[in-house]
Amino acid sequence: MKRLSETAAKIELGVSGKNTYTGDIRADEFLTELRGRRAIQKYREMRDNNATIGAVMYATEQVLRDVKIKVVPANDSEEAKREVEFVKSIFMDMEHSLEDHISEALSYLTYGFSWFEVVYKRRQGDARSGKKNSKYDDGRIGVRKIAIRAPWTVESFVVDQKTGDILGLQQEMGWNRRPAMIPIEKSLYYRTTSFNNDPSGRSILRNAYSAYTYLNKIQAYEAIAIERELHGVPIGRMPAEYLSADATSEQSSLKSQFEAILRDLKNNEQGYALLPSDPYVDVDGKPTNQRLMDVELISANGNRSIDIDPVVKRYQHDIARSVMAEFLMLGGGNTGSYALSKSKTDLFLRSMESYINTIVTVLNKQLIERLWQLNGLPYETMPKLVAGDVAPHDLREIAAFLRNLNGAEISVSQHPEVVEELMAIAEIPFDREAYEERVANDTPVAQDTALPNPARNS
């Protein structure tokens, strides 16, 4: 066997997929209607036109907006703690809030990706240009805004054809302007998954597409059936010569007008039909009781053999299940329990934790780290963003757990960091310095066998 050299081992020979070197949006998708910009338009339609999908997306956005984003220092040094305040000031000094950016960033769930251009500024206090104004005058480089670049304006991704690395975004500008290339170094780039190294990710609505399509068709059939059931089917009658292929232009024009009346005949503003009263004439030229033109409404008889409502509900369940939000459908029928609702809700909240953690990871890597590069700051002092809890805590379960610890002679009262976290969960104000001082001066009742005891080490 030929020995592999170090040089050959470092060379990348293949690519993950077709789209990794073309930069097209979902070029490997097997459904043609979900490729390129058509996919973006379809997912936008699904989000805006379906009640179940809209409810899930709205709930996700509102819940994650309220998640607290903490800035954690790199170490316990005073310099690292000062840099925490710098990062906090970055978000306070933008033209928009961090919560607004998170709401926009969550569009990556719908489209598979979301792209933002970061516009920086020098923090020099009040400036002549309002766009350059800053609340701070430390001379550092900060962020003016994080501007979204709508997915439906994306022409393609700029990809290194040798390595498959994403270099930037090609955006359509409109108004006869040339497309703009936004480099990755100046951007925040979110995507749901890096599977197959697809730069456009994968929409979480992809698995709901089939159910959404059939649901739309069935609801359209249902609306038509109700309309026909209420109004009846209009039937028109006119002489055969008007319907023949050799009808005159006047006869064809009258036929077209009559067809328009039949098509638009409803119990609303078009709730009548104005017809000529001329009757047929017999062979002797005498008028008969039969009109030349007539309109009749035929109503449906009997009941429908197919109950549409269970079919509609099934597809709604499929849509909700595909985004792990089936709990939204509980209570709509005769089944459902608290335990079932809690387990399904917990699963949905866990998925939302992964969503917010994705956003935080991108902010740490593509925003905070680049700010440190631009300002020439040491990485040893660079803090990181950490997302708080999404799911609410059950205080009764926590209290029961603490009682069990106490029964096992494990005391958490000697650990200020644990007590601080418990107070934060209960939303109770807590003075950690005062508590640490009290712990240092008191003698613990029971020595902790599971956690390090600060009183014992002092």
Mean pLDDT, the chain cut into blocks of 10 residues (458 residues total): 75 66 76 89 93 90 88 92 94 93 94 95 78 86 94 89 84 81 94 83 92 92 77 78 86 87 69 71 76 74 70 89 79 56 76 91 96 95 92 79 82 80 80 77 50 46
Residue 117 in any domain: the answer is yes
Question: Do residues 132 and 30 share a domain?
Answer: yes
Instruction: Please say which residue of 298, 327, 353 terminates a domain.
Output: 298
**Residue whose pair of structure tokens reads 């350059």 in the numeric block:** 132
Residue 1 in any domain: the answer is no
Structure tokens at 242: 């008007």
Residue 336 in any domain: the answer is no
* pLDDT given at position 296: 75
How far, in Å, are 347, 388, 394, 450, 453 from residue 425 at the CA level? 20, 10, 9, 22, 22
Measured in whole angstroms, the distance separating CA 346 from the mean position of its chain's CA atoms is 19
Instruction: Please say which residue of 298, 325, 354 terminates a domain.
Output: 298
Question: Do residues 137 and 20 share a domain?
Answer: yes
Question: Do residues 199 and 245 share a domain?
Answer: no
Question: Do residues 58 and 103 share a domain?
Answer: yes
Residue 94 in any domain: the answer is yes
Question: Do residues 87 and 168 share a domain?
Answer: yes
CB 131 within 8 A of CB 86: no
How far, in Å, are 82, 91, 136, 260 from residue 78 at the CA level? 6, 21, 20, 81
Structure tokens at 345: 């809700």
Which runs of E-coded beta strand occur in 207-293? 233-237, 279-281, 287-291
Residue 347 in any domain: the answer is no
CB 150 within 8 A of CB 43: no
Structure tokens at 43: 């997912």
Question: Do residues 114 and 183 share a domain?
Answer: yes
Question: Do residues 57 and 119 share a domain?
Answer: yes
Question: Do residues 45 and 127 share a domain?
Answer: yes
Cβ burial 336-355 (10 Å sphere, 16+ → b, else e): eeeeeeeebbeebbebbbeb
Which residue in 58, 55, 82 sits closest to 71, CA to CA? 82
Residue 290 in any domain: the answer is yes
Count the neighbouring beta carbons within 10 Å of the beta carbon of residue 162: 10
Q: What is the DSSP letter of 311?
A: H
* pLDDT given at position 448: 44
Instruction: Please say which residue of 278, 298, 318 terminates a domain.
Output: 298
Residue 308 in any domain: the answer is no
* pLDDT given at position 391: 74
Residue 386 in any domain: the answer is no
Describe the crossing of helices 338-362 and 98-105 by its angle, rounded to 10 degrees. Answer: 110
Question: Do residues 117 and 189 share a domain?
Answer: yes
Helix or strand (DSSP H, E) at 308: helix 308-322
Question: Do residues 249 and 194 share a domain?
Answer: no
* pLDDT given at position 1: 62
Q: What is the DSSP letter of 310?
A: H
Question: Do residues 126 and 164 share a domain?
Answer: yes
Range of the domain at 426: 395-457
The domain tally of the chain equals 3
Question: Do residues 253 and 197 share a domain?
Answer: no
* pLDDT given at position 336: 54
